[in-house]
Amino acid sequence: MSDIIQLLPDAIANQIAAGEVVQRPASALKELMENAIDAGATQVQVLVKEAGKMLIQVIDNGKGMSMTDARMSFERHATSKIRTSEDLFAIRTFGFRGEALASIAAVAQVEMRTREKDAELGTLIQVEGSDVKKQEPVSCMEGTQILVKNLFFNVPARRNFLKSNPVEMRHLVEEFQRVALAYPEVGFSLKQNDMELFNLPAGGKLSQRIIGIFGKSYQGQLVVCQEETPHLNVKGYVGKPEQAKKTRGEQYFFVNNRFIKSNYLHHAVANAYEGLMPSDMHPFYVLFLEIDPTHIDINVHPTKTEIKFDDERTVYAVVRSAVKQALGAHNVVPTLDFSMDVNFTENWKKDTASRTAVSWENTLVPDDLNKDKSYKTFQSPSFQKQSVSGWERLFEGNVNTLQTEKDKDGDEQSDVLTFTSKASETTSTSNMETEPLPEKTGATFQVESQYVVAQMSSGLMIIDQQAAHERILYERFTRQLHQASGASQQCLFPPHIQLSAADFALVMDIREELHGLGFVVSEFGKDTILIQGVPADVQVTNEKALFEGLLEQFKHFKAELSLDKRENLARSLAKKSSIKRGSKLASAEMEMLVAQLFSCQNPNYGLSGNKTFIKLDIQKIQGFFTR
């Protein structure tokens, strides 16, 4: 039998390695920017076309390379960073394996121009699919310029798996932001299709870099965090609790200036915020950990975003303590001195003061921290003026009187109860068994401002008001999106919203679907949008807060569920604009909620799969009193 095991050709081996190192255009950008930093650059320019699929160009003013080094840089495992095994455990540079350029050149057409400081001429090298096509002297600027063209041109399957341009662009922006945050002393710029997205000057402070990347809305929301110990130093900024969001994505850990992902350390930060924000919210933070390289292992994953500490518990404790002390030092942690001027508490009081339908007498502030402040009624504000008292009438047994009151309001409700949507159900609850709908016959009242109790011919029905309203709105918005029939109400004073580059790209990607819901959104400068109209059937007091909340919900569902854009938007807007638990409803609103719920195609389940109502039949009620 002949021998069958053979060494792979270098080109194929490089393609295999590229599968781990270069997963998408953002992966290539990350490697090139890190190489520029390792070369001592003080200015790094990035240009991309078609979200990096067609072109990624990185220009730096670093020390450049000689002709021999330039050629060697495309060879696998050729590096200037390490010489011995001891060097591997004392790494402070980004690159050290010598795989980045070789992997990129294996799946793209790469052109490099580089010149050292004192050299008269530089070097031009062109590589295509690991084959060197050209190498010659050339006149060029000091530093290095690298062009990556037609990524995955020779791996069609990988190219077909790339996402849409807006999605890939968001990944590019995320990688750009991570490197830019780590080095505020270096100037960075990013252009997409000749449109400038970022222009970050060199030499600034970390706080200035954060504001330059995420927008001016972060000004005044940052809390300095600093802790020094014999084994670990922590420095950076954390956000105030009111700035927390439902989605992760604005949480940055850097170990020796290298970006890492760590759920363990994220838990340490979240634990420091315990009691200051709802458990499902995520705080903003940019934290730098300085530690002896001999106590960590960064050679865990090809992307180098995972890290191992030799004493994770100590690191956890130091990070948690640093964040806790930072919040306490800036009067963010709750205190028994209620006369103290605490910014986020004042903001909370201002927000909740507008909820006139809810009585705050004899209510402690901490008990209501988890309540949603976007209380909305179903129809006109006149409902807020109706009395929700009169509980004694519900127990008089005079069902006819209550029924007459309902009939009297019937004309007012008739133009609202128009739920006859036949749109196909696309939610995960569509396969759930539905119960036969009971027939309402009598009184409707509210319990603990959370549940609506309706009298039926066979007993009682208890409705979760938030889950029910989310279901009603979701089906309405789904129908509007499929029919592109969402009516819009124009904003009298259109607000403008400055977004991060990633969020701006996301809005541009879903602008057509937003228009189908009734939003009228236009560009208003760099990373800024103008909200000219909002859905007509959503009561809005703050258009900016509504849109920002919708965007956060959209990103949250995008991360948690595999949904298309339309369903994601319908879910997100339903979640954001629904009434919340803790909201008091007038009797007419409760009647309307019940009627609209029973008009839904799938009234039995909410958007999270939980039941919208339960039934207590008369036999079960009698059983409670049977000896």
**pLDDT tens per residue across span 229-282:** 998 999 999 999 888 887 777 899 999 999 999 999 999 999 999 888 887 788
Q: Is 410's pLDDT higher than 50?
A: no
- What percentage of the chain reaches a pLDDT higher than 90? 30
Instruction: Provide CATH code, domain 10-204.
Output: 3.30.565.10
Confidence of residue 432 (pLDDT cuts 50, 70, 90): very low
Confidence of residue 324 (pLDDT cuts 50, 70, 90): very high
pLDDT at residue 251, as a whole number: 93
Report residue 432 as tokens: 């759930």
Mean pLDDT of 165-180: 90
Q: Is 336's pLDDT higher than 90?
A: no
User: 462: part of which helix (H) or strand (E)?
Assistant: strand 459-464
In angstroms, the Cα distances linking 192 to 49, 248, 321, 535, 569 are: 6, 25, 41, 32, 26
**Highest averaged pLDDT of the listed ranges 6-15, 130-139, 239-248, 528-537:** 130-139
Q: Is 552's pLDDT higher than 70?
A: yes
Q: Are 104 and 88 in contact (CB under 8 A)?
A: no
Q: What is the mean pLDDT of the chain?
A: 77
How far apart are the C-alpha atoms of 125 and 134, rounded to whole Å? 5
Mean pLDDT of 98-113: 89
329 vs 341, which has greater pLDDT? Answer: 329
pLDDT at residue 81, as a whole number: 65
Q: What is the pTM of this model?
A: 0.65
Q: Are 122 and 64 in contact (CB under 8 A)?
A: yes
Residues in the chain: 627
pLDDT at residue 567, as a whole number: 79
2-16, 226-240, 471-485, range with the lowest pLDDT: 2-16
Domain residue extents for the chain: 10-204, 214-329, 381-618
Q: Is 603's pLDDT higher than 70?
A: yes
What SS3 state is found at 87? helix
pLDDT at residue 440, as a whole number: 54
Mean pLDDT of 594-614: 85
588 vs 558, which has greater pLDDT? Answer: 588
Q: Is 498's pLDDT higher than 50?
A: yes
337-341, 454-458, 497-501, 617-621, range with the lowest pLDDT: 337-341
How far apart are the C-alpha atoms of 513 and 480, rounded to whole Å? 10
Confidence of residue 351 (pLDDT cuts 50, 70, 90): very low
The C-alpha angle with vertex 600 and arms to 595 and 602, in degrees rounded to 5, equals 130
How far apart are the C-alpha atoms of 48 and 51, rounded to whole Å? 6
Mean pLDDT of 490-498: 85
Q: In Å, how far from its chain's centre is CA 148? A: 29
Q: Are 243 and 284 in contact (CB under 8 A)?
A: yes
pLDDT at residue 423, as a whole number: 34
Q: Are 46 and 33 in contact (CB under 8 A)?
A: yes
Mean pLDDT of 412-428: 35
- Domain 381-618 maps to which CATH number in 3.90.25.10, 3.40.50.2300, 3.30.450.40, 3.30.1370.100? 3.30.1370.100
288 vs 491, which has greater pLDDT? Answer: 288
408 CB burial (10 A radius; 0-12, 13-18, 19+) = exposed
**Highest averaged pLDDT of the listed ranges 6-10, 222-226, 440-444:** 222-226
pLDDT at residue 301, as a whole number: 66
pLDDT at residue 186, as a whole number: 96
Mean pLDDT of 291-303: 78
Q: What pLDDT digit, counting tens, does each position of 355-396 carry?
A: 333 333 333 333 443 444 444 444 433 334 343 344 333 334
Report residue 320 as tokens: 């948690």
Q: Is 143's pLDDT higher than 60?
A: yes
45-49, 424-428, 518-522, range with the lowest pLDDT: 424-428
Mean pLDDT of 459-486: 84
Confidence of residue 97 (pLDDT cuts 50, 70, 90): low
Its CATH class, for the domain covering 214-329, is alpha beta
